[in-house]
């Protein structure tokens, strides 16, 4: 007869999720809700994790910025931060920080993908769509594509 493993507790499940990457409280709540057997038990576990600083909103924001900012524009990252249930103030501060480097980041993404200026309207539209779908603002993309090497 095969040995059965004990069912992990809510705390065990939460710690396993947190060991792989930073999660916001809202993310953990959504992922662990189905495992809650006693009403209020999940909230108590999450409160304890926040108290012990295992869940930290600042680290979640920093982690997302570190992983996603080199490839994505401010609006796409803003959407991801909001989807994770982070405080509006934290999202606004992160987006404001990103806006200052948006042109440089867009140039680097453009350089890696294309590397040379568009030679016709169709190619220019393709480059524009590529950067726009990554969340770079229209103003930044237009400025970059008008003179990609000096923008």
pLDDT band for 3, please (50, 70, 90 cuts).
low
At residue 4, the pLDDT reads: 77
CA 16 to centroid of chain Cα atoms? 20
The predicted-structure confidence for 46-98, as pLDDT tens digits, reads as follows 999 999 999 999 999 999 999 999 999 999 999 999 999 999 999 999 999 99
DSSP-H helix ranges across the chain: 10-20, 25-32, 41-51, 57-68, 74-83, 88-99, 102-113, 121-133, 138-146
Are residues 141 and 128 in contact, defined by beta-carbon separation less than 8 angstroms?
yes
pLDDT band for 7, please (50, 70, 90 cuts).
confident
pLDDT band for 36, please (50, 70, 90 cuts).
very high
Those residues whose C-beta lies under 8 Å from the C-beta of residue 2, and which sit 6 or more positions away, are none
Q: What tokens appear for 14 in the block? A: 């939460």
At residue 150, the pLDDT reads: 56
At residue 5, the pLDDT reads: 77
| pTM confidence score | 0.83
Any idea which residue has 């996603």 for tokens? 68
The predicted-structure confidence for 95-143, as pLDDT tens digits, reads as follows 999 999 999 999 999 999 998 888 999 999 999 999 999 999 999 999 9
pLDDT exceeds cutoff 80 at 148: no
**Domains of the chain and CATH, by start:** 8-55 (1.10.10.10), 56-100 (1.10.10), 102-146 (1.10.10)
pLDDT exceeds cutoff 60 at 1: no
């Amino acid at each position: 007869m095969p040995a059965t493993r004990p069912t992990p507790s809510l705390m065990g499940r939460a710690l396993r999720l947190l060991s792989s990457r930073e999660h916001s409280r809202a993310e953990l709540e959504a992922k662990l809700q189905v495992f809650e057997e006693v009403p209020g038990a999940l909230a108590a576990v999450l409160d304890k994790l926040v108290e012990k600083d295992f869940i930290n909103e600042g680290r979640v924001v920093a982690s997302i910025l570190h992983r996603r900012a080199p490839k994505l524009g401010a609006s796409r990252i803003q959407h991801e931060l909001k989807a994770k249930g982070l405080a509006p103030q934290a999202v606004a501060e992160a987006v404001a920080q990103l806006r200052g480097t948006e042109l440089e980041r867009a140039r680097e993404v453009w350089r890696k993908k294309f590397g040379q200026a568009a030679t016709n309207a169709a190619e220019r539209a393709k480059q524009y769509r590529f950067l726009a779908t990554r969340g770079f603002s229209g103003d930044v993309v237009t400025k970059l594509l008008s003179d990609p090497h000096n923008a």
